[in-house]
């Protein structure tokens, strides 16, 4: 099963409430995925700074902070439960190669505006642990997981991010992910897990790197990604949803003048302000819907 | 009587509606704050009127017998799933598999219904005022599916003996589904169903009829009364 949710704000009105809105959506989707939960939230970028979302697992934060300061020159490092957001002006390639070599931690995402938090456990607990309600931002994506093809681990949790400011959540399963993974590895995309969704995220990163836009990328995904899926994907300024052409995996969109909200089921959105006068519709199979750019 | 899902548990609401005392209880119920909950009004057996004020989740009115349910909002997957009798009127849109496997009763959807509307229907009459998605009436066995808008791909795939009437365009027909001649008896039947859905303004002759070519399954004329 799995539950997926997302909000893209069209006006500034709800920027401060974004975390609160997403939090309610994730908690309501517990019934579709009690194994793990995660979210990606896009905040205003700071010039020249890159942010790295790191799951420090069982490390003691102070020790990690001390060790990392010897390797990376950072502007700030902020602890949030077992995650940390490291901000640095250093060359991203250099920082990434250092972070990827550290076996005790998992780099869950990076970019100018994205922050990602994900962990095993009930969505209610995960949301509380990271204090999602206090977050503000411009758009956000979340996932509640009912594990199927790979284990219940942090690396098996969504959202997946395989490129700067990119993230993807998925309800469904892919059947050609092993072939696609081999092909993408040859093209220089790195994978951390055996998970099928990570392959779809890598596929999107590869297309975006080759200067395709989000809409074109997802449209070509319709013929290249075999399986069942509803995907919600985010970029620094964009937000999109696509369902495979069989459309077994559900999705509902609620759009008002202030926001676009997407969820696997309407009940995840019932608490959103003004949802009862929103334009509510199901995305059609095989059609890519995008907002922003 | 008002039943507020913000104050009462869903199970309590359904139990109340499933155990009506005809001597004491009144016949009119309103459900407030459905908030997309699943399985609202399932398994009802009495001739009562219920209005649901808002959007509901999956399987609303499932297995219904006799009850008259109005949903003032959208419905999720499988509205009226396995309905036996009674009436469900959806004032918004319906998600996939509306009226799935239903044996009888009447389902009206004012908006659109998405994919697989009337999948494996077994005797229900469904009127969709908008359009239906792909694979509607898949393996439909009996009853009538009437669509005032358009139908998506593979309409009536592997169809048995359901009659399908479409006013708009059909994107494609599924395996063994063909357009059929509209006889007087079909026009009369369609007029009657349109009237039942308060759509007297529509003319039955503007619809096209689709049915089974009877090549995919072993149709036997001796058993036609079973459908």
Closest Cα in chain A, distance from residue B207 (Å)? 25
Same domain, A287 and A189: yes
- Enumerate the residues of chain B whose CB falls inside 8 A of the CB of residue A252: 95
Residue A84 lies in a domain: yes
pLDDT for res B226: 75
pLDDT for res A48: 87
Same domain, A152 and A91: no
- Does A267 contact B114 at a Cβ distance shorter than 8 Å? no
CATH number at A58 reads: 3.30.70
CB pairs under 8 A between A and B: 45
- Enumerate the residues of chain B whose CB falls inside 8 A of the CB of residue A266: 36, 55, 57, 74, 76
Chain A contacts in chain B segment 80-139 (CB below 8 A): 92-93, 95-96, 114-115, 133-134
Same domain, A168 and A217: yes
Q: State the average pLDDT for chain B.
A: 96
Residue A119 lies in a domain: no
Residue A233 lies in a domain: yes
pLDDT for res B55: 97
CB B5 within 8 A of CB B34: yes
- Does B55 contact A250 at a Cβ distance shorter than 8 Å? no
Choose among B37, B96, B133: nearest Cβ to A267.
B37
- Does B55 contact A268 at a Cβ distance shorter than 8 Å? no
> Which of A94, A112, A130 is a domain's end point?
A112
CATH number at B98 reads: 2.160.20.60
Task: Please classify residue B101 by burial: count the beta carbons closer than 10 Å to its beta carbon, then call 0-12 exposed, 13-18 middle and 19+ buried.
Answer: buried
DSSP string, A109-145: EEESSEEEEEEES-HHHHHHHTTGGG---SEEEEEEE
- Enumerate the residues of chain A whose CB falls inside 8 A of the CB of residue B77: 250
pLDDT for res B206: 98
Closest Cα in chain A, distance from residue B55 (Å)? 8
In A, minimum Cα distance to B58 occurs at A265
CB hemisphere CA count around B26 (13 angstroms): 6
Residue A215 lies in a domain: yes
For residue range B195-224, list pLDDT tens digits in order. 999 999 999 999 999 999 999 987 777 877
* pTM for this predicted structure: 0.93
Q: How confident is the model at residue A212 (pLDDT cuts 50, 70, 90)?
A: confident
Same domain, A30 and A12: yes
Cα R_g (chain A), whole angstroms? 18
For residue range A161-175, list pLDDT tens digits in order. 999 999 999 999 999
Q: How many domains does chain A divide into?
A: 2
> What are the Cα distances from residue A281, in Å, to A93, A220, B35, B193?
42, 24, 16, 27
> Using beta carbons and an 8 Å cutoff, which residues of A are at the interface with B?
247, 250, 252, 265-271, 276, 280-282, 284-285
Q: DSSP E strands: which ranges in A223-283? A: 227-234, 238-243, 252-255, 259-263, 279-281
**pLDDT above 70 coverage of chain A, percent:** 100
Same domain, A157 and A275: yes
For residue range A22-47, list pLDDT tens digits in order. 999 999 999 999 999 999 999 999 88
Same domain, A288 and A234: yes
- Rounded to 10 degrees, the C-alpha dihedral A209/A215/A220/A223 comes to 140
Backbone angles phi, psi at A14, to 5 degrees: -105, 15
- Does B76 contact A282 at a Cβ distance shorter than 8 Å? no
For residue range A76-115, list pLDDT tens digits in order. 999 999 999 999 999 999 999 999 999 999 999 999 999 9
Give the residue from B36, B73, B96, B171 with the most A CB atoms within 10 Å of its CB, the best one to mutate.
Answer: B36
For residue range A142-162, list pLDDT tens digits in order. 999 998 878 899 988 999 999
Residue A118 lies in a domain: no
pLDDT for res B144: 98
- Does B114 contact A280 at a Cβ distance shorter than 8 Å? no
Same domain, A170 and A99: no
pLDDT for res A232: 98
Same domain, A232 and A249: yes
pLDDT for res B23: 81
Q: Which domain holds residue B93?
A: 2-226
- Enumerate the residues of chain A whose CB falls inside 8 A of the CB of residue B96: 247, 250
Choose among B57, B58, B134: nearest Cβ to A285.
B134
Same domain, A39 and A51: no
Residue A35 lies in a domain: yes
In B, minimum Cα distance to A267 occurs at B36
pLDDT for res B24: 78
- Enumerate the residues of chain B whose CB falls inside 8 A of the CB of residue A282: 93, 95, 114
Same domain, A15 and A156: yes
pLDDT for res B43: 97
Could you confirm whether A2 is annotated as catalytic? Answer: yes
Closest Cα in chain B, distance from residue A199 (Å)? 28
**β-bridge mates for residue B70, sequence order:** B51, B89
Q: Average of pLDDT values for A190-213?
A: 92
Q: DSSP E strands: which ranges in B66-195? A: 68-71, 87-90, 106-109, 122-128, 142-147, 163-166, 177-180
For residue range B133-169, list pLDDT tens digits in order. 999 999 999 999 999 999 999 999 999 999 999 999 9
For residue range B43-85, list pLDDT tens digits in order. 999 999 999 999 999 999 999 999 999 999 999 999 999 999 9
Q: Which domain holds residue A85?
A: 45-112
Backbone angles phi, psi at A5, to 5 degrees: -140, 155
CATH number at A217 reads: 3.60.20.10
Q: How many domains does chain B divide into?
A: 1
Q: State the average pLDDT for chain A.
A: 95
For residue range B11-55, list pLDDT tens digits in order. 999 999 999 987 877 899 999 999 999 999 999 999 999 999 999
Q: How confident is the model at residue B88 (pLDDT cuts 50, 70, 90)?
A: very high
């Amino acid at each position: 099963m799995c539950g997926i949710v997302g909000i893209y704000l069209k006006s500034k009105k709800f920027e401060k409430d974004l975390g609160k809105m997403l939090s309610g959506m994730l908690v309501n989707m517990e019934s579709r995925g009690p194994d793990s939960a995660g979210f990606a939230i896009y905040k205003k970028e700071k010039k020249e700074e890159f942010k790295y979302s790191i799951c420090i697992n069982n490390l003691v934060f102070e020790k990690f902070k001390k060790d990392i300061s010897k390797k990376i020159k950072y502007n700030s490092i902020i602890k949030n439960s077992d995650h940390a957001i490291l901000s640095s002006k250093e060359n991203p390639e250099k920082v990434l190669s250092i972070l990827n070599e550290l076996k005790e931690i998992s780099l869950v995402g990076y970019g100018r505006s994205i922050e990602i938090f994900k962990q095993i456990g009930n969505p209610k607990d995960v949301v509380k642990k990271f204090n999602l309600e206090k977050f503000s931002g411009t758009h956000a994506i979340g996932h509640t997981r009912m594990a199927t093809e790979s284990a219940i681990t942090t690396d098996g949790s969504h959202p997946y991010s395989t490129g700067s400011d990119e993230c993807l959540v998925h309800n469904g399963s892919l059947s050609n992910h092993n072939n696609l993974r081999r092909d993408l590895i040859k093209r220089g995309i790195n994978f951390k897990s055996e998970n099928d969704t990570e392959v779809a995220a890598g596929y999107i990163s590869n297309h975006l790197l080759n200067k395709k836009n989000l809409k074109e990328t997802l449209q070509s995904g319709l013929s290249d990604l075999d399986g069942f899926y509803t995907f919600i994907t985010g970029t620094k300024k964009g937000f999109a949803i696509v369902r495979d052409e069989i459309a077994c995996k559900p999705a509902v969109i609620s759009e008002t003048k202030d926001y676009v909200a997407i969820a696997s089921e309407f009940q995840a959105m019932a608490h959103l302000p003004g949802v009862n006068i929103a334009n509510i519709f199901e995305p059609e199979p095989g059609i890519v819907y995008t907002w922003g750019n | 009587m008002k039943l507020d899902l913000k104050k009462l548990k869903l199970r309590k609401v359904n139990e109340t509606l499933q155990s009506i005392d005809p001597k004491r209880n009144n016949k009119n119920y309103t459900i407030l704050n459905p908030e997309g909950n699943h399985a609202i009004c399932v398994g009802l057996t009495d001739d009562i009127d219920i209005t649901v004020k808002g959007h509901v989740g999956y399987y609303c009115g499932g297995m219904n017998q006799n009850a008259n349910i109005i949903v003032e909002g959208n419905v999720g997957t499988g509205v009226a799933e396995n309905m036996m009798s009674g009436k469900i009127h959806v004032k918004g849109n319906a998600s996939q598999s509306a009226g799935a496997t239903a044996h009888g009763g009447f389902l009206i959807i004012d908006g659109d219904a998405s994919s697989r509307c009337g999948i494996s229907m077994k005797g229900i009459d469904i009127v969709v005022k908008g359009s239906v998605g792909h694979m509607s009436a898949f393996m439909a066995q009996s009853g009538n599916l009437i669509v005032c808008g358009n139908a998506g791909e593979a309409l009536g795939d592997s169809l048995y003996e359901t009659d399908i009437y479409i006013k708009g365009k059909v994107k494609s027909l599924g395996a063994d589904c063909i357009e059929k001649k509209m006889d007087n008896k079909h026009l009369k039947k369609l007029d009657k169903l349109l009237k039942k859905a308060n759509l007297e303004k529509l003319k039955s002759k503007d619809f096209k009829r689709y049915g089974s070519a009877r090549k995919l399954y072993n149709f036997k004329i001796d058993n036609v009364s079973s459908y």
